[in-house]
Amino acid sequence: MQSSLKKSLYLGLAALSFAGVAAVSTTASAKSYATAGAYSTLKTDAATRNVEATGTNALYTKPGTVKGAKVVASKATMAKLASSKKSADYFRAYGVKTTNRGSVYYRVVSMDGKYRGYVYGGTSDATFAGGIKSANTTTDATAPSKTQAYYLAKPGTTNTLWTAPKYTQYKASKVINSTEALANDIFYVDQAATKTREGSLYYHVTDQTNTKISGWIYAGALQTTPSDSVLASKGVSITYIDQATGKTVKSGAIFTSTGATAGTALTDAQVTDINGQIKTAVPAGYSLTNEAVVSTSTKFGDTLTVTVKANAAAALKVSFNKMDATTNAATALDTTSALGSDGVTKVADAQNNFEKNYTEPEGTTPTSSDLTSALSTAKLDTLYVPTANGATTYNKYTLNTNLLPLTATFGNTSAAALYYTQATGTYQLSGSTMTEVK
């Protein structure tokens, strides 16, 4: 019986020992979680809390080591956001929790609001570390002169003012969406900045019509002259119509005057001013049939048609000049006894023929191809000039087509200068052919 009791005690102790070992083993294998302290709101200036992911840590619904924390953005996703070229993928840090193990977790949200959660931030709540680091979402740029006036190219919801360049600050918003409130206004630039990731330039501007309106706008949305729609409202739009054909010669010409106000009638001084501008802008080769185009009954914003007539055909007078091959200095070329490119026609006759046949409406200008062709037809593309008075040998001069008088006008009493360069060798007329003297 004693032997049996000993055996029972032995088996009982063995069982207890096994159960104890099992209990210790189970406790050792259970996951150990951290606990997070109280949540604190970050109170420093918001712009100093712009951060970007480093890609070393994931984003969680809770501090990552706390029980129940779920992944919002994996480590791989945070790595993509870290290398992103979009300002939308920056973050704003706005809260913090510290675990009982001394790990700091920052509460962050992406600038576009897509991602929000906790990310490991090192072991101090005084600096950003671990999975995030401080970010400069913009860099300073050189602003244009403060005296340069600008207009919005496409005012309204597309190109409008923002409290900060979009996504460079959390919840950057539009200052104003109204097209009408911005269309006619002048703006001055007082700051400039470049979006760090995109590299796009933004200006901070103030509306001079209403100085309470100011904000940031993409630099490409500004222009130094009003848009056509703005000009038209404060100007007079003119369409020039050919009297003979009824076709439009020039359309959409807009003329403004000092003190113009949309919808108001022109003053006597403005009538004189704009009529003068309309006359000056008449298309080349045409003249007004009536020079009193606008009157005091005309209002700014009006669109008018104006009849013009083609000028009479006029010649393009020309003169002949030679260029020094070394200095490029030009002097008059004596063409008294000179011959044209065919070696037969006298230059004086060729010139008369050219000016008689090459005509366009008075006031128009020649084109390079037409002028070159006309000079060739008239035998003036090459000139043969006697080497001396009474000589039977000639120097050859070729037309410099790079120096054609394309700004000359038909009907101008001043001759348009043609320039020639002397070729090498001496030439002699043999029958009706110019041949180089060997």
The Cα 340–Cα 381 span in angstroms is 8
Q: What would the mean pLDDT of 270-297 be, rounded to a whole number? A: 93
d(C-alpha 419, C-alpha 186), whole Å: 49
Question: Given a cut of 70, is residue 381 above it in pLDDT?
Answer: yes
Q: Is residue 326 part of a domain?
A: yes
Residue 379, domain extent? 314-436
**pLDDT given at position 293:** 93
CB 93 within 8 A of CB 116: no
- Pick from 187, 191, 142: nearest CA to 165: 191
Q: Give pLDDT, residue 181.
A: 54
* 432 and 351 co-located in one domain: yes
Check residue 298 and give its pLDDT.
95
Contact partners, residue 18, CB within 8 Å, separation at least 6? none
Instruction: Give the pLDDT band of residue 12 (cuts 50, 70, 90).
Output: very low
Angle in degrees, 0-180, between the axes of helices 368-377 and 347-357, rounded to the nearest 10: 130
- Residue 62 pLDDT > 50: yes
Domains: count for the chain:
4
Residue 230 forms part of a structural domain: no
Domain boundary among 191, 225, 259: 225
Task: Answer yes or no: is 19 within a domain.
Answer: no
- The answer to whether position 63 is within a domain reads yes
Question: Is residue 349 located within the same domain as residue 420?
Answer: yes
Q: Which of 225, 246, 271 is the last residue of a domain?
A: 225
pLDDT score, position 199: 96
Residues with Cβ within 8 Å of 417's Cβ and at least 6 positions away in sequence, in order, are: 318, 319, 321, 330, 405
Return the percentage of the chain with pLDDT > 70, whole number: 90
Please spell the DSSP secondary structure of 239-256, one letter per residue: EEEETTT--EEEEEEEEE
Alpha-carbon span 51 to 197, nearest angstrom: 13
- Please tell me which residue, 98 or 210, carries the higher pLDDT value: 98
User: What is the rounded CA–CA span in Å between residue 123 and residue 345?
Assistant: 99
Q: Which amino acid is at 102?
A: G
Residues 394, 361 within the same domain: yes
Q: Has residue 14 been placed in a domain?
A: no
User: Is 432 found in the same domain as 359?
Assistant: yes
Is a pLDDT exceeding 80 seen at residue 209? no
Residue 7 has pLDDT above 90, yes or no: no
User: Taken in order 224, 191, 50, 84, is the CA torsion positive or negative?
Assistant: positive
Q: Indicate the residue type of 169.
A: Q
pLDDT tens digits, one per residue of 135-156: 999 999 999 988 888 888 766 5
Both 341 and 424 in a single domain? yes
CATH for 183: 2.30.30.170
Which residue type occupies 292? A
> Could you tell me where the beta strands, DSSP code E, fall in 339-415?
359-361, 382-386, 393-399
Rounded alpha-carbon distances, angstroms, from residue 86 to 12, 164, 258: 70, 15, 45
Rounded Cα–Cα distance for residues 438 and 131 (Å): 89
4 belongs to a structural domain:
no
Q: Are residues 324 and 426 in the same domain?
A: yes
pLDDT at 177: 58
Question: How far apart (Å, rounded) are the C-alpha atoms in residues 246 and 410?
Answer: 24
Least confident of 3-7, 66-70, 262-266: 3-7
Strands (E), 122-266: 132-134, 138-140, 151-152, 187-195, 201-207, 214-218, 222-223, 235-242, 248-256
Q: Please tell me whether residues 421 and 326 are part of one structural domain.
A: yes
User: What local confidence, expressed as pLDDT, does residue 148 receive?
Assistant: 84
Within-domain flag for 284 = yes
Q: Are residues 326 and 391 in the same domain?
A: yes
More confident residue, 369 or 390: 369
Q: Tell me whether residue 26 is in a domain.
A: no
* Residues 204 and 247 grouped into a single domain: no
- Residue 150 bridge partners (DSSP): 187
Pair (432, 318) in one structural domain: yes
The answer to whether residue 9 scores a pLDDT higher than 90 is no
Shared domain check, 274 and 198: no
Sign for the CA dihedral angle at 246, 249, 254, 258 comes to negative
pLDDT score of 11 more than 70: no
Confidence tier at 175 by pLDDT (50, 70, 90): confident
Q: Which residue reads 């002048």 in tokens?
A: 186
Choosing from 310, 341, 359, the residue where a domain stops is 310
Q: Are residues 301 and 319 in the same domain?
A: no
If you average pLDDT over every residue of the chain, what do you get? Answer: 88
pTM (2 d.p.): 0.54
Beta strands in 257-345 (DSSP E): 286-288, 303-310, 313-315, 318-323, 330-332
